[in-house]
Amino acid sequence: LQQRRGLRLSAPAAIQVTVRDALNQALDEELERDERVFLLGEEVAQYDGAYKISRGLWKKYGDKRVIDTPISEMGFTGIAVGAAMAGLRPVCEFMTFNFSMQAIDQVINSAAKTCYMSAGSIAVPIVFRGPNGASAGVAAQHSQCFAAWYGHCPGLKVVSPWSSEDAKGLLKAAIRDDNPVVMLESELLYGVPFEMSEQAQSKEFVIPIGKAKIERPGTHVTLVAHSRPVGHCLEAAAVLSKEGVECEVINMRTIRPMDIETVEASVVKTNHLVTVEGGWPQFGVGAEICARIMEGPAFNYLDAPAVRVTGADVPMPYAKILEDNSIPQVKDIVFAVKKALNI
């Protein structure tokens, strides 16, 4: 009626959605879409999840689709992998990925290798998800980044979201994928609101696994990060922009398979590379990116050595001041960029 009267209708505006709610939406939509999908893990059902990611899902879908497990990662991960081999599509939640070490035999030897070892006859469509990397004040046994660990293993796909759109689109893509997918989330981002476009609000919105996103275009230096450090890179880029340095910020989104082509194209343009991650330096994600750039055509366009910004090479301290100095901060990224540019 308004259109007939010649009134202009505005398109639905983007809305603010927290990462927690984006993950909850993705789980809800995929549980509804495919009856083979189910969620299991510690406190995911009646308690609504340790981080409230599964809030309301047990009441909506019941005991067979949202399953509380004992505190036994090896046990419930094995059950989930077996269910995937039998044709279901489990979403296996770890209360923190540090606890996935209890089940790493199931993740690697049972899930990741089975498709190859069966000559493609047995698929394992499973998602392992939960908070990864540093939180706040939980010390060494709860603060490790597993991106390099799981990214090292063929047979797995590994995704690491930053924004709410990343979280929703990558989780939906992971659930629909016929391969085992490790989804490394950040506990510190769960409560952070991000703008979600009209497209991302659709039930069919997915983000292709293996494709990075340029969050901010720039001309002087390429900043590459995943998960929470993407936000730090954007903050550093804003600071450096005031000094006349324009950073191109790339959100990797996927650790394996790695979208090195997007990074290469950016380095060809900017001639400088800085990688940023919360994990340890040795054999890290940044080390892999730097090696791939060195081995490829973009190396010839570098005007200076690539620089890595990483977590400190120590187990995470408990004291806040030490913790802050063990995790890359905005000032560390600014320093690294100036080092790369020799300014």
Active-site choice (73, 187, 277, 288)? 73
Query: Considering the domain boundaries, does residue 75 fall inside one?
Result: yes
Tracing tokens 């120590």 back to the chain, one arrives at: 314
Structure tokens given for 107: 């993740």
pLDDT at residue 16 greater than cutoff 50: yes
Which of 30, 42, 142, 215 is catalytic? The answer is 142
pLDDT for 285? 98
Quick one: pLDDT band at residue 10, thresholds 50, 70, 90? low
Structure token pair of residue 244: 């006349």
**Nearest by Cα to 127 from 80, 57, 167, 72:** 80
State mean pLDDT over 167-179.
Answer: 98
Say what the pLDDT of residue 306 is.
97
What is the mean pLDDT of the segment spanning 271-293? Answer: 98
Q: Are residues 54 and 168 in the same domain?
A: yes
Q: Is position 1 within any domain?
A: no
The phi-psi region of residue 133 (left if phi > 0; otherwise alpha if psi is between -120 and 50; otherwise beta) is left
272: in domain: yes
Q: Which of 6-10, 86-90, 176-180, 241-245 has the lowest mean pLDDT?
A: 6-10
pLDDT at residue 12 in the model? 60
Assign 11 a pLDDT band (cuts: 50, 70, 90). low
pLDDT at 296: 96
Average pLDDT, the chain: 95
User: Are residues 116 and 80 located together in one domain of the fold?
Assistant: yes
**Of the residues 178, 201, 224, the one at which a domain ends:** 201
pLDDT tens, 276-285? 999 999 999 9
* CATH value at residue 63: 3.40.50.970
Q: Same domain for 175 and 266? A: no
Contact 110, 164 (CB under 8 A): no
Same domain, 168 and 301: no
Average pLDDT value for residue range 208-219? 98
Considering 201, 223, 253, which residue would you say is the last residue of a domain?
201
**pTM of structure:** 0.94
Q: CATH number, domain at 314?
A: 3.40.50.920
In this prediction, residue 8 has a pLDDT band, given cuts at 50, 70 and 90, of: very low
| 37-83 tens-digit pLDDT | 999 999 999 999 999 999 999 999 999 999 999 999 999 999 999 99
Enclosing domain of residue 282:
213-341
Helix (DSSP H) and strand (DSSP E) numbers for the chain: 12, 14
Q: Within 13 A of 264's CA, how many CA atoms are on the CB side?
A: 14
Q: Does residue 288 fall inside a structural domain?
A: yes
Q: Is 310 helix (H, G, I), strand (E, B) or coil?
A: coil
Last residue of a domain, one of 181, 201, 221: 201
The answer to whether residues 243 and 301 belong to one domain is yes
> Same domain for 188 and 256?
no
315: its two tokens: 């187990």
Classify residue 25: in a domain, yes or no. Answer: yes
Please state the domain count of the chain. 2
C-beta of residue 263 within 8 angstroms of C-beta of residue 227? no
Verify whether residue 73 is a known catalytic residue: yes
| pLDDT at residue 170 tops 60 | yes
Q: pLDDT at residue 116 above 60?
A: yes
Measured CA distances, 220 to 259, 269, 287 (Å): 21, 8, 21
Residue 289 lies in a domain: yes
Chain position carrying tokens 């570098």: 302
Q: What is the DSSP letter of 326?
A: T
Q: Active-site residue 220, yes or no? A: no
**Residue 9 within a domain:** no
- CA 162, 230, 257 angle in degrees (round to 5)? 65
- Tell whether the model's pLDDT for residue 9 goes beyond 60: no
pLDDT score for 3? 46
Task: Quote the percentage of the chain above a pLDDT of 90.
Answer: 96
**Shared domain check, 223 and 99:** no
Say yes or no: 175 and 80 in one domain. Answer: yes
Residue 10, in any domain of the structure: no
Whether pLDDT at 2 is above 60: no
What is the average pLDDT across 131-152?
Answer: 94
Tell me, yes or no, whether 117 and 181 share the same domain. Answer: yes
Region label for 271, one of left (φ > 0), alpha (ψ between -120 and 50) or beta (otherwise): left
Do 194 and 66 fall within a single domain? yes
Residues 147 and 73 in one domain: yes
